[in-house]
Amino acid sequence: MRGRRVLGLLGAGLVAGWLVVAGVSPSLVPYSPRQVDVMARLKPPSAGHVFGTDALGRDVFSRVLVGSRVSLPSGFTVVLVAAVVGTLYGGCAAYGSARVEEGLMRVTDLFLSFPPLVLAMAIAAALGVGVRNTVLAMFVVWWPKYARLARGLVLGQRSLDYVEAARGLGLGGARTLLRHIVPNTVGPIVVLLALDVGNAMITFAGLSFLGLGVVPPTPEWGAMVSDGQALIDQWWVSTFPGLAIFSVVVGFNFMGDSLRDWLDPRRER
């Protein structure tokens, strides 16, 4: 139990650290992330270039730090918008008539019958390269799981004794929903959110790796791994941006994991 709390704190620390980096990195980095220096191309890590330089002589360390300004906000945006839209959708389905519910949930099933990356890839390719388009493509495949979760949660709560008690005491439907059902369903949604941000960042980086994310030369982690993927002997070009993705995602997953234990004591068993 204590070990998990330590992991949670460690994760929160990692995430907080990256948020600070995303905020202040432009004034912090030793080199401009776009500054090309052909004389210094593919230099291994050294005191001058801690993470080495890439094929155009750009400083990998600076690019990794500044890259957080694309990856963090896009991951957050996808997950937050998807969570809000999905939860509302699922909540409506759970509160609607049986036929409305059936219809609404069939639509989510439809989206869930694709592997998310394949569908997002097709949409992103059709929309054209750019951060906004990629985020939009990811949103299309992202909201259904929140809809399904929210529907299940609201349905599960609706039949519980305490809800019936609240109704029996004469509380109206809206008040029961907001004061009693919603507080009890927020926990699992928050847990899914925390675990999902990392997931979204990996997917975004993956699309970017395929050339469907950012317009070069914008520094972005997935695109940077892709830049160096053929440079097996110059391992630093791909390794450090990948390590950045890994560390942020590990941070979110540590946080989400202990959050889950904390919010759901039954999982303790």
Partner 1 sequence: MALRYVLKRVVACVLMALAATLVVFLVAHTVPADPVLAQLGDKASANPETVARFRTRWGLDRPLWQQYAIFLAGLARGDLGESIASRRPVMDDVRQYAPATIELSTLAAFLTALVGVPLGVLAAVRRDRLADHLVRLLCLFGVSAPTFWLAFLALALFYGGLEIAPSPGRLDAGAVPPPHVTGLFLADSLLARNWATFRAALAHMILPAVVLAASTVGLVTRTTRASLLETLGQDYVRTARAKGVAEALVVRRHALRNALLPVVTLGGLAYAELLAGTVLTETIFSWPGLGRYTYQSAVALDFPAILGMTFLVAAVYLVMSLIVDLSYVVLDPRVVRR
Q: Which of residues 217-256 bind partner 1 (CB under 8 A)?
A: 222, 225-226, 228-229, 232-233, 235, 238-239, 242-243, 245-246, 249-250, 253-254
Assigned token pair, 259: 């959050």
Q: Does 76 bind partner 1 (CB under 8 A)?
A: no
- The secondary structure of residue 43, as a DSSP letter, is P
CA distance 196 to 202: 10
CB of 168 vs partner 1, minimal distance in Å: 30
State the burial class of residue 169 (Cβ atoms within 10 Å of its Cβ: 0-12, 13-18, 19+): exposed
Q: Given phi > 0 = left and psi -120 to 50 = alpha, else beta, which region is 231?
A: beta
Which stretch, 48-56, 91-99, 118-126, 161-169, contacts partner 1 (CB under 8 A)? 118-126
Q: Which of residues 190-219 bind partner 1 (CB under 8 A)?
A: 198, 202, 205-206, 209-212
Cross-strand pairs, 59: 53
Among 103, 114, 173, 264, binds partner 1 (CB under 8 A): 114
CB of 235 vs partner 1, minimal distance in Å: 5
Q: Does 169 bind partner 1 (CB under 8 A)?
A: no
Residue 127: which H helix or E strand, with range? helix 116-127
CB of 163 vs partner 1, minimal distance in Å: 24
Task: Name every residue whose Cβ is closer than 8 Å to that of residue 232 and which is 6 or more positions away in sequence.
Answer: none
CA distance 82 to 186: 15
User: What is the residue type of 15?
Assistant: V
User: What is the residue type of 151?
Assistant: R
Q: Which of residues 120-139 bind partner 1 (CB under 8 A)?
A: 121-128
Contacting residues toward partner 1, per CB under 8 A: 1, 3, 7, 109-111, 113-115, 117-119, 121-128, 140, 198, 202, 205-206, 209-212, 222, 225-226, 228-229, 232-233, 235, 238-239, 242-243, 245-246, 249-250, 253-254, 257, 267, 269
